[in-house]
Amino acid sequence: MQTPDIRIVLVSPSHPGNIGAAARAMKNMDLSCLVLVNPRQFPHAEASARASGADDVLRAARVVPALRQALAGCGYVLATTARERDQYFRVLDVREAAARLVAECARAPAAVVFGAERSGLSNDELEMAHALVRIPASPAYASLNLAMAVQLVAYELYRARGAAAPVSAPLAAPLATTEELERLYAHFHEVLEQIDFRDRTHSGTHLMARIRRLLQRAEPDQNEVNILRGILTAVQNRRRPAGGEPR
C-alpha cells in the first residue's frame, strides 16, 4: 500500500508522551508525515519511549512555530473538533472525512489538524480547514485523549485506503492551497475596505470570518480562486480609472 501524502498536524501538544503515542499510531497505520506546531517539550525521552518502535516517524517530524507553516502547500485540510455541529463550519463524520482525505491526497498534500490537549483548536485555527471532523463518542464522556484521537483517525484513513467501495473522484483542478486562500482573503479584505462595505451586525467584527468560512466550505480550486481574484481586481480597476478620480 502506497504511503499517502497526508500530514498529521498536532498544534501545541503539551505532553511529550502524546507525541510519541501519536507517532506510534501513525506507524501502525502506515502514515509517516508528522508536523508539530509549537510543542511544549520536543524532543523528549518520554516521546521516544511512547513511540515504541516509531522512532523514524519522530526523527522525521517537522517542528514549526505556526499552523500556517504546517499547512504550507496543502490542498484539502480537515480539523478535529468535539462539536457536533456549527452554524458556519461543515462537520464530517470521521469515516466520511477519511475517505475524502484519501481521495484528495492523490493530487496534492492533505492534512488533518489536532488541537492542544486541554483547549483544542481556536476559531482562527479552525478557519484554516475546509471542514471539521467529529469522532462519535458517548455523550456521557466524549472527550478523547490526543493520541487516541490520532489513532482513530489514522485507522479510518488506513481503512479508507484499502476499502473496496469507490470514493468520489476529485475535481480536475487541484484545490487552492492554504497560501492561495490566504492571498484571496487578504484581497477580499482590501477590496471591502476600498468600497466601504462594512459588517452591519451589532458587533461589526465578523464579516471577514464569515466570508472565510463560506469559501472554505465551497472548497475552491486554483482556477476558481484566480477567477475570484480577477473579479476583485476588476472592481479595483473600475474604481481607479486611468487619469481620473476613483468612482
Question: In this structure, what CATH number is given to the domain that contains residue 21?
Answer: 3.40.1280.10
> Which residue range forms the structural domain that includes residue 211?
178-239
**pLDDT recorded at residue 190:** 95
pLDDT tens, 150-202? 999 999 999 999 853 444 555 568 899 999 999 999 999 999 999 999 887 66
Q: Measured between alpha carbons, how far is residue 140 from residues 93, 136, 137, 143 in Å? A: 19, 12, 8, 9
Same domain, 235 and 182: yes
**pLDDT recorded at residue 198:** 84
**pLDDT recorded at residue 166:** 47
Q: Considering the domain boundaries, does residue 169 fall inside one?
A: no
Which residue numbers in the chain have pLDDT < 70? 1-2, 83-87, 163-172, 201-204, 240-247
DSSP for 151-201 reads HHHHHHHHHHHH-SS--PPPPSSPBPPHHHHHHHHHHHHHHHHHTT----S
Instruction: Please identify which residue in the block is written with the cell numbers 508539530.
Output: 36
Distance, in Å, from the CA atom of 150 to the CA atom of 147, rounded to the nearest integer, reads: 5
Beta bridge partners of 7: 33, 111
**pLDDT recorded at residue 173:** 83
| Contact present, 80 and 112 (Cβ < 8 Å) | yes
Q: Sort 189 into a burial class: Cβ within 10 Å, 0-12 / 13-18 / 19+.
A: middle
Same domain, 84 and 205: no
Q: Considering the domain boundaries, does residue 218 fall inside one?
A: yes
Same domain, 69 and 98: yes
Question: Measuring CA to CA, which residue among 154, 162, 156, 146 is closest to residue 26?
Answer: 154
Give the H or E element holding residue 128: none
Q: Considering the domain boundaries, does residue 172 fall inside one?
A: no
Same domain, 12 and 121: yes
Contacts with 151 (C-beta within 8 Å, 6 or more apart), sequence order:
21, 22, 25, 28, 29
**pLDDT recorded at residue 242:** 53
Structural domain count of the chain: 2
